[in-house]
Chains A and B, each alone.
Chain A
Amino acid sequence: MNDHANESHDHHHEESFVSKYIFSLDHKMIGKQFLIYGLIMFMVGGGLALLFRWQLAWPDKPLPMIGVSQEYLDEGEAVSEADRRWERWGEDDEENWFERTMYGGIIGPEFYNALFTMHATIMVFFVVVPLLVGAFGNFLIPLMIGTRDMAFPVLNMLSFWTSVLGAVILMAGFFVPGGHAAAGWTGYAPLSSVPDFTGVIWGQNLWCMALIVMGVSSLMGSINYITTVINMRAPGMTYFRLPLVIWSLFIVAILLLLAFPVVASALALLLFDRMAGTSFFLAEGGGEPLLWQHLFWFFGHPEVYILILPGMGLASEMISVFSRKPIFGYKSMVFAMISIAFLSWVVWGHHMFQSGMNPQLSMAFMTTTMLIAVPSAIKTFNWLGTLFRGSIQFTVPMLHTLAFVSMFVIGGLSGIFMANSPVDIHIHDTYYIVAHIHYVVFGGSVFALFGAVFYWFPKMFGRHMNAALGKIHFWISFIAFNGVFFPMHIIGVAGHRRRIHNPLDTDLAHLQGINEFITMCAFILGAAQIILLVNVFWSMFKGRVAEQNPWHANTLEWHAPTPVPHGNFDQIPRVYHGPYEYSVPGAETDWIPQTQSDGEPSRDEPIAAGATAD
């Protein structure tokens, strides 16, 4: 640590606007770019959900704001006219996009299928992964392990701009004749592999290409994360001194690296089937429709844990800081995450119990799937153990964290129903699974994410977000979220299939009141996110200026100056502790930074570093 004097001042050279804000090589700027990108896509994905929720609550009624064609409504022909317009797509240049897709404000079945397909595709691949892995992975990894940047800064920059390319390709699909991909986010062949079955031509092709491009972006990111975590930890930062969020991101990067090539191959085969006349997934050509499902879910189940593990990591940081206690059972938390990662490779068959896969396989997949309850329970009980005899501060990030824990418990428990193959016979492909995935990914990951944005915002932008707005956003979101997704369990049990355009097509009229309730809550939930956006963008420029370590946290990112300069640390810190030394008996403060050596203050600690801030 004697040579740092030379390197510490190399990083203050002037940068142009383009190299600072656009093609930045700085992991912090790339993290912020992913954050903005993810938030924009979050609004798009959420907006699509509101459109199809309208159709589910008030089937075939025109959307209030898009404009009504009274003429067709009067004659009761609005839906068939919507169908006719869809088929004539592109023949009439006078028509605008809305007249083609939602003629008279009516969402026809073709557009409906594209809507839920793109809602899920965007939320999974373009929102949750970029926000959790892209934004927080980039921002936190170098800061929390105590290094100046990622191992490969150029690759990092390319990873972001590749994901922008992916989003552009994906969004283009909305404007091609035939509309966007309409085979569900799971894209089951042969519905997805033969254009005639859906009438979608370029939409589905673009969907494949966009996902391949996104995968390439994730690969670049994951190689970077793995290399950085293995090689660039600060002196003293052993693996078991890593904060849990770094562990979670490290594991997720490994999962991404191994899972993505599988789905990329599957997507390539799908493209061949569609464009080159092969029949990998077509029975009459000697192919096998189930091959797609095996490949997709072999990737897809690790992908589900890619979506939740970083949420668990983020929540673990916040629950420890705001309980002012060490995380309960640090090592068992790490091993629980590792076992979730291992198990994620041997459970994919539970998506396929009713698919026609050999039914004898079900016992194996049922058992491995239910085994995931074990590490999940370990994590939950450890979070509870962390609260035990703590000193709990109900800050905005902590509210989100507690919501994360309770929603994750619901999502985890509802999963046991579907892991059980006989019970799955009835609830498979109903709203029960829709409720389950949203409790895990929205109630779990996204609430952890909201909390994390609030928690790390002071370090990212040097300013605090507004706590009052944060609480209002939290409570409305939390209540509306449960209003949307809890009732989905019961309509699922009652037999409400997922992905149906009109619930009144079948004998589900007695559930229609619940569908209307869900939609009203969904609109409230959507509107509440405007509060979040306002809070984020207003606080970036006008928020209260943040001190260096506002939450009195131990981890290294709070040791870096605020705003964090290029190169992060004046001197590379030396690590003496695990990340969760809170309320240590006999210590002067209830927190001991990782940089503080026993007895004496750390050598390279700038003395003012918050220790005396209050």
Chain B
Amino acid sequence: MLKWLDFPAWLPENASTFGEGVDKLFVLIYWITAVVFIAVMAVLIGFMIKYRFKEGRKADYIEGSTTLEITWTAATTVIVFGLAMLSLPQWNKIKVPSQFPSSPDDVLVRVHAKQFNWDMTYPGPDGKLGTTDDLTLENHLHVPVNKVVHVELTSEDVIHSFFVPQMRLKQDALPGRTINVWFEATKTGKYEIPCAELCGFGHSAMLGYLNVHTDDDYAKWVEEAWQ
């Protein structure tokens, strides 16, 4: 049962560069809230026992305390502003396009969501999307490990959500718009890409796979794909 209280232990294995920052924030908030919760419950239960009704004892007439009100207002305000400040760099790193890493080695791929599949389009040898050497695979995303992968996210019909739990990445795909996200996998393996936004009766089974290869395996895959 104790395991049920240890939220961070339930996080899926992290396999991306920015995932660690997300997990650290999660653990920080977990401990702040855990301490507050335990303190409040201890006080609540303590009061319930100590001040329970007893024959002949009257409650004290206390209307409040301005000092206390100011103290807990100020303390909570400081904590939430601090938390917001700590979180901002993480968010900007993951989601704000102007702060995305960029180098010639980066991998580019377009993910086009539609009821109920992910179409993964690779730019091919020329490195450009929308040319004749593009290759589209259904539901299988192949990327090399330790390389920045840029994803152009689009949708055919309704809103879908590109979710890779192990990359700590989630982004809705909107019809009529291209949204850019990125990740860099730190571990090889095959990870699931479920759809996280209700998209119709096939939503539950809408599932792609992220295949993170070593450099050699990736080169081999590229060779086979464009032979």
Knowing A366-B87, A391-B54 touch, does A429 contact B72 (C-beta < 8 A)?
no
- Evaluate contact between B84 and A367: CB separation under 8 angstroms: yes
Contact with A along B158-176 (1 / 0, CB 8 A): 1101010100111111111
Interface centre among B29, B44, B59, B94 (most CB of A within 10 A): B59
Q: How far is the CA of A199 from the CA of B158 in the complex (A)?
A: 13
A402 within 8 A of B: yes
Residues of A within 8 A of B12 (CB): 494-495
Name A183's contact: one of B40, B41, B198 (CB within 8 Å). Answer: B198
Residues of B within 8 A of A325 (CB): 59-62
Residues of B within 8 A of A356 (CB): 171-174, 177, 179
Name B40's contact: one of A384, A392, A422 (CB within 8 Å). Answer: A384
Residues of A within 8 A of B76 (CB): 373-374, 377-378
Residues of A within 8 A of B41 (CB): 406, 409
Residues of B within 8 A of A194 (CB): 157-158
How many B residues are at the interface, by size bracket?
A: 35 or more
Q: What is the distance, in angstroms, from B156's C-beta to the closest C-beta of chain A?
A: 10
B223 within 8 A of A: no
- Evaluate contact between B4 and A486: CB separation under 8 angstroms: yes
Instruction: List residues of B (64-121) whose CB comes within 8 Å of A's CBs.
Output: 64-65, 68-69, 72-73, 76-77, 79-81, 83-84, 87-88, 90-92, 94-97, 115
A171 within 8 A of B: no
Residues of B within 8 A of A190 (CB): 157-159, 175
Query: Which chain B residue has the least Cβ–Cβ distance from A586?
Result: B61
- Evaluate contact between A425 and B53: CB separation under 8 angstroms: no
B219 within 8 A of A: no
Name B205's contact: one of A108, A493, A502 (CB within 8 Å). Answer: A502
A481 within 8 A of B: no
B7 within 8 A of A: yes
Instruction: List residues of B (7-55) whose CB comes within 8 Å of A's CBs.
Output: 7-8, 10-12, 21-22, 25-26, 29-30, 32-33, 36-37, 40-41, 43-44, 47-48, 51-54
Residues of A within 8 A of B144 (CB): none
| Interface residues in chain A, defined as those with a beta carbon under 8 Å from any beta carbon in chain B | 108-110, 113, 182-184, 188, 190-191, 194, 197-199, 282-284, 288-290, 323-326, 328-332, 354-356, 359-360, 362-363, 366-367, 370-371, 373-374, 377-378, 380-382, 384-385, 387-394, 402, 405-406, 409-410, 413-414, 416-417, 420-423, 425-426, 428-430, 486-487, 489-491, 493-495, 497, 499-502, 505-507, 582-585, 590
A to B CB contacts below 8 Å, 13 in the list: A182-B200, A188-B158, A199-B201, A325-B62, A355-B172, A359-B92, A360-B96, A374-B73, A393-B53, A416-B29, A430-B196, A493-B11, A501-B203
